[in-house]
A = this chain, B = another copy of it.
Amino acid sequence: MPGYKAPVEDTLFLLNDVLDYESCATLPGFSEAPLDVASQIISEAGKFCEEVLAPLNASGDRAGCARHPDSSVTTPPGFREAFEAYALGGWIGLPVPPAFGGQGLPYVLSMPMSEFASSANMAFAMYPGLTQGALAALLRHGSEDQKKRFAPKMAEGRWTGTMNLTEPQCGTDLGLLTTRAAPRPDGSYSLTGQKIFISAGEHDLSDNIIHLVLARIEGAPAGVKGISLFIVPKIIVNSDGSLGARNNVSCGAIEEKMGIHGNATCVMNYDGAQGFLIGEANRGLNAMFVMMNEARLGVAVQGLAQSEIAYQNARTYALERQQGRALTGPKNPDGKADPIIVHPDIRRMLLEIRAFNHAARGLALGAALDSDIAHRSPDPAARQAAEDRLGLMTPVLKGVLTDIGFENTVKAQQVLGGHGYIREWGMEQFVRDARIAMIYEGANGIQALDLVGRKLPRDGGRAIMAYLKEAGELLTTNASNEAMKPFVAPMQAALADLHKATMWLMQNALARPDNAGAASYDYMHLLGRVALGVMWVKIARAALNAKICAPETSSAMDARLTAGRFFMERLLPETAFRLARLSAGADTMMSLPAEMF
A residues neighboring B (CB under 8 Å): 166, 170-173, 176, 196-197, 255-259, 315, 318-319, 323-324, 327-328, 336-337, 339, 341-351, 354, 406, 410, 413-414, 417-418, 420-424, 428, 431-432, 435-436, 438-440, 443-445, 448-449, 513-514, 516-518, 520-521, 555-556, 558-559, 562-563, 565-566, 569-570, 573-574, 576-577, 580-581, 584, 586, 588-597
Q: Complex formed: what's the CA distance from A574 to B257 in Å?
A: 33
**Pair B517/A343 contact, Cβ less than 8 Å:** yes
Across the interface, A421 reaches (CB within 8 A) one of B342, B349, B354, B436, namely B436
Enumerate 12 A-B pairs (CB-CB under 8 Å) in ascending A order. Answer: A257-B428, A258-B431, A319-B594, A319-B595, A328-B513, A351-B588, A351-B592, A414-B444, A431-B435, A559-B593, A562-B596, A569-B588
Q: Complex formed: what's the CA distance from A569 to B418 in Å?
A: 36
Q: Complex formed: what's the CA distance from A588 to B586 in Å?
A: 39
CB distance from A101 to the nearest CB of B (A): 33
**Pair A348/B592 contact, Cβ less than 8 Å:** no
A336 partner residues in chain B, CB cutoff 8 A = 176
Q: Complex formed: what's the CA distance from A597 to B315 in Å?
A: 7
Across the interface, A414 reaches (CB within 8 A) one of B172, B346, B443, B556, namely B443
Q: Complex formed: what's the CA distance from A497 to B271 in Å?
A: 63
Nearest residue, chain B, Cβ from A339: B594
CB distance from A419 to the nearest CB of B (A): 8
Chain multiplicity (copies): 2
Across the interface, A514 reaches (CB within 8 A) one of B257, B344, B410, namely B344
Across the interface, A348 reaches (CB within 8 A) one of B256, B558, B589, B596, namely B589
Interface SS of A by simple majority: helix
Q: Complex formed: what's the CA distance from A350 to B445 in Å?
A: 13
Across the interface, A257 reaches (CB within 8 A) one of B421, B589, B596, namely B421
**Pair A341/B566 contact, Cβ less than 8 Å:** no
Nearest residue, chain B, Cβ from A331: B594
Nearest residue, chain B, Cβ from A444: B414
A592 partner residues in chain B, CB cutoff 8 A = 347, 351, 559, 562-563
CB distance from A496 to the nearest CB of B (A): 15
**Pair A327/B516 contact, Cβ less than 8 Å:** yes
Q: Complex formed: what's the CA distance from A421 to B565 in Å?
A: 36
* Interface-centre pick from A345, A349, A569 (highest chain B CB count, 10 A): A345
**Pair B256/A518 contact, Cβ less than 8 Å:** no
A597 partner residues in chain B, CB cutoff 8 A = 315, 318-319, 341, 347, 350-351, 354
**Pair A521/B445 contact, Cβ less than 8 Å:** no
CB distance from A562 to the nearest CB of B (A): 5
Across the interface, A438 reaches (CB within 8 A) one of B166, B323, B414, B435, namely B414
CB distance from A358 to the nearest CB of B (A): 12
**Given A257-B422, A345-B518, A517-B344, also A580-B576 (CB < 8 A):** yes
CB distance from A402 to the nearest CB of B (A): 11
A444 partner residues in chain B, CB cutoff 8 A = 414
A347 partner residues in chain B, CB cutoff 8 A = 518, 589-590, 592, 597
A414 partner residues in chain B, CB cutoff 8 A = 438-439, 443-445
